[in-house]
């Protein structure tokens, strides 16, 4: 944490700080629907890096993880949904409010574990990785010259045998490095 503070301080004191927004990182809390495996939404996190190539177009790299547990009678089911996606974002950047839309592709890994502690203790698990397509958008609002509050929503198609559709809501902070 101290190293990150030192790097950010150095960047602010150099010429790289003159054009905030070319490179940005964000961290967000999110809720991901898991209705195909467990009920409700899985709580998780999203970390993202983006690079503004020209004008309003950005290259985006995102990783995320969501977990959910559910008691279904005498069996406890836990899921972990991990994904890594990359793509492009179009952002209508203004001084204080910036809406954006993005299209991302990559892979998702779903891990499922079932446990029972009644009568006979037993555990079973399965995991698989599938291609993923994600489309979404949101809005950023300026908190300071470099820090923005981000709120977003996504639709995600995971290309399993049954084609899982997921929705995701996110909120977090984006920091514009330079």
- Rounded CA Rg of the chain: 19
Is 2 part of a structural domain of the chain? no
166 vs 157: CA distance, rounded Å: 6
Q: Judge whether residue 165 has pLDDT over 70.
A: yes
Is 76 part of a structural domain of the chain? yes
pLDDT tens digits for range 86-102: 999 999 988 789 999 99
Decide if 138 contacts 150 (C-beta within 8 A): yes
What pLDDT, on the 0 to 100 scale, is given for residue 2? 54
Instruction: Using the CB atoms, write b or e for 40-79: b if 16+ within 10 Å.
Output: ebbebebebbbebeeeeebebebebbbbbeeeeeeeebbb
Range of the domain at 57: 22-176
Q: Judge whether residue 44 has pLDDT over 50.
A: yes
What pLDDT, on the 0 to 100 scale, is given for residue 1? 53
For the ranges 17-21, 77-81, 114-118, the one whose mean pLDDT is highest: 77-81
pLDDT category of residue 76 using cuts at 50, 70 and 90: confident
Is 123 part of a structural domain of the chain? yes
Is 101 part of a structural domain of the chain? yes
Is 6 part of a structural domain of the chain? no
pLDDT tens digits for range 48-73: 999 998 888 999 999 999 998 888 77
Q: Rounded mean pLDDT of 144-156?
A: 94
Maximum CA pair distance of the chain? Answer: 67
Is 65 part of a structural domain of the chain? yes
What pLDDT, on the 0 to 100 scale, is given for residue 167? 93
- According to DSSP H, which parts of the chain are helical? 2-13
114 vs 124: CA distance, rounded Å: 5
- Note the pTM of the prediction, 2 decimals: 0.80
pLDDT tens digits for range 5-29: 554 555 454 444 445 568 999 999 9
Is 58 part of a structural domain of the chain? yes
- The domain that contains 152 carries what CATH number? 2.40.160.20
Number of domains within the chain: 1
Is 48 part of a structural domain of the chain? yes
């Amino acid at each position: 944490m101290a190293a990150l503070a030192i790097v950010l301080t150095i960047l602010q004191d150099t010429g790289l700080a003159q054009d905030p927004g070319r490179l940005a990182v964000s961290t967000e809390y999110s809720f991901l629907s898991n209705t195909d495996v467990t009920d409700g939404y899985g709580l998780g996190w999203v970390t993202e890096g983006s690079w503004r190539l020209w004008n309003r177009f950005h290259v985006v790299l995102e990783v995320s993880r969501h977990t959910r547990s559910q008691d279904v009678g005498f069996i406890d089911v836990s899921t972990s949904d991990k994904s890594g996606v990359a793509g492009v974002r179009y952002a209508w950047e203004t001084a204080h409010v910036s809406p954006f839309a993005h299209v991302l592709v990559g892979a998702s890994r779903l891990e499922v574990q079932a446990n029972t502690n009644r009568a006979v203790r037993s555990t079973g698990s399965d995991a698989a990785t599938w291609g993923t397509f994600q489309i979404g958008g949101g809005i950023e609002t300026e908190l300071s010259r470099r820090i923005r509050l981000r709120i977003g929503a996504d639709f995600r198609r995971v290309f399993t045998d049954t084609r899982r559709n997921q929705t995701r809501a996110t909120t977090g902070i984006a920091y514009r490095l330079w």
